[in-house]
Structure formats: structure tokens, C-alpha cells
Amino acid sequence: MPTVSDRHARLDMRSRALMSIRRFFTERDYVEVETPVRIETPALELHIDAEPSGDRYLRTSPELHMKRLVCEGMERVFQMGPCFRRGERGRRHSPEYTMLEWYRRDADYLDILDETRALLSRVCFDCLGATEFVYGGQAVTMSGSWSVLNVADAFVRWAGWNPVETYDADRFDLDLVEKIEPALPTGVPVALKDYPAEAAALARCRPDDPPVAERWELYVAGMELANAFGELTDPVEQRRRFEACAAARAKLGKAAYGLDEAFLKALEQGMPDCAGVALGVDRLVMLMTDSATIDEVRAF
Amino acid sequence: MFSASDLRKGLKVEIDGAPYIITEFNFTKPGKGQAIYNCKLKNLANGTTLTKSYRSNDKLDKPELAQHVLTYSYKDGDHYIFMDENYAQISMGADELGDARFFLVEDIEVEVLYHKGRPIEVVLPTFVEKEIVYTEPGARGDTATNVLKPGKIDTGYELSIPLFVNQGDIVKIDTRTGDYADRVLKKAQA
């Protein structure tokens, strides 16, 4: 059982990580923004539920508001703050957690993977004095080259089927957790990239054959740490995806959220090419402090 | 029926007709995907374990379990005779009682868990008192507590006891582990 002083040491590390993250982005000419926490229309996701707050909802992510700032012309924005997801409770999930998101104009999803590597190497060095650490008995080096795998290749190799050719949502989620995640290379961070178009979420699709979504997920010591998109900028496709998602939610009997018309209007007026990343700050601190549960790195 | 979101450590469920208890539980959610509930389960009837993952829309059966408090009366051949809340006699065999049979003492109350009418788990009081019916004498003056020797109780069960415990002494036994816990009564010197 961790003692109070263990927890305080972790909070000290957390504080240093927040400072280091802010320094990294300000040095790269990013502007820190704070967008609303109570919002009218949570970003539509089939499996993410928002916590109601009066006549609004607590945000599940700051994504849509931050993209509106990009549409307005801001070139580099970042934000660190609380996000809320209803019913998510586990060793690595807390219904209230801290998310870091950043968006960069004229970057693609692989440019922003490079930037993520620079960020994590820097934060580790600032906090630990080294870019290596041990998590759960597993040594990880953050600097140097990372392992980058296509989702299709990983699934063919470890699960025996190709979800990019024939997608099966139920099988995809289960195999990802049971077969892919445990088999991922160790020692360095791993980015799984090029998701099936059906699992694109808010990523744009590249017209490969079959098409793939410009999305990656980052795993460090087997822990999912970040998700990134080459952002979808097409307002027609975005509306179609929101509507399809709303219909799928209704079919599962989930709470109905309206479409974020302000965001769709911003897309219609034009969104420049950009890429964005969402990264779980609590999990980053868990990694650097070798903490088994998310509760150990939060003050309460 | 349970739905996957009801799952938690300690919950009892039924899989393929057998009762299980969830011994480890973790909620996980792959990026943007649906919730996955990872469970380690122990079969309550035979102790085997298994690992299973459930998705949010999976359903599990509730096992048909009943718990009764029985009072132990006596042993009749290979059978152990208990009395239930209504003073009806219940007979159980060694296979149903498992190791619990070694620690039965007249008039103690045991909690028995039944699955579809079959006893699957017998919970004894944490401590029972038993007489040491056989042990070699310890060396004179040796009162060390960390040196152990074998001792036997009336049910034939053998356990490790400190050197200073003599034949005829009453000891306290932890029924969860079957280990010696304390000496409660020293045999009166003849």
C-alpha cells in the first residue's frame, strides 16, 4: 500500500511534468488555451459517454473547441485540463482525468508523431534526468527511434486477420486488447498507425486500397498513452460521420447528443490541414513513477 | 442476468452451468473502442481458474446459490452429520467437506454454500480448538517458539507445533491455513 509520502513524491513528479510540458510547447510557439469544460454537445463517439452537468455536459475532450480555434487561424494551440468520461473506472481509467491536447497547422499525423517523441524525451529528461525508465519491470527508452507498425500488419501477424480489408468492430476491440497489446514490441514506445476507415473517428482517410485512416495510437510499456489524427477537414464527411454515430448510439440505447453545429460551421468556412494529439497526462506520470494505478498519481 | 457493467471483484456468476467467483477484475478500453472487462474467475465447485474478457453487451447468468448455517453433531462412519436451522439432519461426505473435515468440533457452526442443492463450499469459524492427541515430548526447558515439531489431533490431521506444546494440551488452529495459532490450555500435570 503506497504511503502518504509516496503519493506526495508522485505529485511532485506530476508537477514537474506539467511544467516541462508547458515549457516544451511554449518554446515551440504554441499558445496555451482554455476552452469550456461545460459544453452543449460532446464530441460524438460511439463508446464515450459524457457526464451531464445541469443543462450541459462535462467535456469528454476539448477537441472540437480547439479545432475551432485552428479554423479561426490559430496555428499552434495546446491545452492541459480535466476531462470526464462517464462510467470509466479501472486501473488505468478514472472518470475524471487530465488530458493534454495539441493541434498544429500544416502538420500531418507523422510529423506530429515526431513531435510527440521530442516531447516525451524532453519531459522524461526534465523529470528523471534520463530518457529511460522502468515500468512494471519493463525498461523503456523514450529517445531514439520508436517502433511504428501498421494496424493491418499487426493484426495479420498476431490475430490472424486483416481488419483494414474486412472490419468487425467487436472482434477488433477484443483482439486489440487480448492479442495485439500483449504482443507489441517492448523496450521502446510503439505507434500503431493507419486504422481501418471504420475506426477513423475524427481522422481523415487516405485513398489507399483499401482506404486507411490517418490515425495512430501510442503505447508505452503496453500502456495506451496517446491518440492522434491527421484531422478530418471535410465538413460533408464530418457531418455524415456524426450522423452515423448518433444513429449507432441510438441503436445501442445510449444518451443522444446533438450535433455540434458551431464546429460544423467552422469546418464549412474552411479548416486548414492540421494534425492533433490527445495524451493522457496521468498515465504519463504513472509511467515515470512506476505506478500501477491511476489513483496513485492523482492528488485525490 | 448480469450485464458486463455489473462485473466486479467478488461477484459470483455462472458459466456453462458451473458457479464462479471473480477473483481479479479490470476495466479496460482500447482507444475509441468499447469497454472490455477482463476477469479472472475461480470455479467455486472445483477450484479451477480461468481468464475471460467480456464486452459491454455481454450477459452472464446468476448462479443459483443458497447459504445455510449448519451445526456439526457427530461422525457416523464415513459420514459427517450436521443439523440445519430446522433441526433436520444433513449428512456430508469427506469429498464434500474437503479439509474442513479435519477441524470439525462438536456443536460448532459452519456456513455451507450450496449450488443447485449441492454443497460446494464449507466455511468454518476462523479458529477452532483441538487437543493434541500425540506428539513427542520437547526437550526440557526449551521454550523457544520458532522451533517446531509435528503434532497430531483427533481427526488424524498433523500440524507443526512449538516444542513446548505437550500431548494433551489444547491448541488453537487457524482453519484457513490449517496452521497452529496458539496454546489455549496446558494439560494439568499428573
Domain boundary pick from B38, B60, B82 = B60
Helices (H) and strands (E) in chain A, counts: 9, 14
Which residues in chain B touch residue A47, judged by CB atoms under 8 angstroms apart?
29, 32-35, 56
- In eight-state DSSP terms, residue A44 is P
Contact B36 A46 (CB under 8 A): no
Minimal Cα–Cα distance from B36 to chain A, Å? 7
Which residues in chain A touch residue B24, judged by CB atoms under 8 angstroms apart?
none
Domain boundary pick from B27, B43, B60 = B60
Instruction: For A104-121, write each residue's pLDDT tens digit.
Output: 999 999 999 999 999 999
Contact A181 B27 (CB under 8 A): no
Flag whether residue A178 sits within 8 Å of chain B, measured between CB atoms: yes
Could you tell me the residue range of the domain that residue B104 belongs to?
Answer: 65-123
Q: What is the CATH number of domain A4-297?
A: 3.30.930.10
Which residues in chain B touch residue A252, judged by CB atoms under 8 angstroms apart?
57
Domain boundary pick from B60, B75, B107 = B60
Select the residue of A90, A173, A178 nearest B33 (Cβ to Cβ).
A173
| A294 vs B137: CA distance, rounded Å | 56
Q: Which residues contact A213 (CB under 8 A, 6 or more apart)?
A: A194, A195, A196, A197, A199, A200, A201, A203, A204, A205, A206, A229
Predicted confidence pLDDT, tens digits, chain B (190 residues)? 998 889 999 999 999 999 999 999 999 998 888 999 999 999 988 889 999 999 888 999 999 999 999 999 999 998 999 999 899 999 999 888 988 999 999 999 999 999 988 888 899 999 999 999 999 987 666 565 578 899 999 999 999 999 989 999 999 999 999 999 998 887 765 4
Which residues in chain B touch residue A199, judged by CB atoms under 8 angstroms apart?
32-33
pTM, rounded to two decimals: 0.82
B146 and B105 within one domain = no
> SS3 of B30, please?
coil
Best mutation target among B6, B9, B24, B32 (most A Cβ atoms within 10 Å) is B32
Reduce the secondary structure of A160-229 to three states and give it as a string. Answer: CCCCCCCCCHHHHHHHHHHHHHHHCCCCCCEEEEEEEHHHCCCECEECCCCCEEEEEEEEECCEEEEEEE
B50 and B76 within one domain = no
User: How far is the first Cα of chain B from the last one, in angstroms, to the nearest whole number?
Assistant: 64
| B190 vs B179: CA distance, rounded Å | 28
B105 and B73 within one domain = yes
| B49 vs B170: CA distance, rounded Å | 37
Pairing, β A212-220 against β A190-196: antiparallel
Q: How many structural domains comprise chain B? A: 3
Select the residue of B5, B32, B38 nearest A47 (Cβ to Cβ).
B32
Q: What ipTM score was computed for the predicted complex, to two decimals?
A: 0.80
Amino acid at the residue B99: D
Helices (H) and strands (E) in chain B, counts: 1, 16
Instruction: For A10-49, write each residue's pLDDT tens digit.
Output: 999 999 999 999 999 999 999 999 999 999 999 999 999 9
Q: How many CB atoms lie within 10 A of CB A256?
A: 9
Predicted confidence pLDDT, tens digits, chain A (300 residues)? 668 888 999 999 999 999 999 999 999 999 999 999 999 999 999 999 999 999 999 999 999 999 999 999 999 999 999 999 998 999 999 999 999 999 999 999 999 999 999 999 999 999 999 999 999 999 999 998 999 999 999 999 999 999 999 999 889 998 999 899 999 999 999 999 999 999 988 999 998 888 999 999 999 999 999 999 999 999 999 999 999 999 999 998 999 999 999 999 999 999 999 999 999 999 999 999 999 999 999 999
Flag whether residue A295 sits within 8 Å of chain B, measured between CB atoms: no
